[in-house]
Amino acid sequence: MNAPQNPKAGLGALLTPDNCALILIDHQPFQFAGLRSHDTQTIINNVVALAKTAKTFGVPTLLTTVVEARGGYLIPQLQAVFPEQKPIDRTFINTWEDARVVEWVKKTGKKKIVMAALWTEICLAFPVIHALGEGYEVYIVTDASGGVSVEAHEVAIQRMIQAGAVPLTWMVFGSELQRDWARTATLSDMAKLMLEHMGNVGTSYTWEQQLLATPPPAK
Which amino acids are annotated catalytic? Answer: 123
Q: Which amino acid is at 101?
A: V
The distance of Cα 172 from the centroid of its chain, to the nearest Å, equals 10
Instruction: Give the residue among 143, 116, 175 at the shortest CA–CA distance from 42.
Output: 143
- The H-assigned helical ranges of 57-149 are 68-71, 76-79, 99-108, 125-133
- Measured between alpha carbons, how far is 47 from 137 in angstroms, rounded to an integer? 21
Instruction: Give the residue among 214, 62, 204, 193 at the shortest CA–CA distance from 131.
Output: 62
Residue 113: phi and psi, rounded to 5, are -115, 125
Residue 10: phi and psi, rounded to 5, are 95, 170
Length of the chain: 219
Is the backbone peptide bond immediately before 170 cis, with ω within 30 degrees of 0? Answer: no
Instruction: Give the residue among 113, 174, 112, 123 at the shortest CA–CA distance from 146.
Output: 123
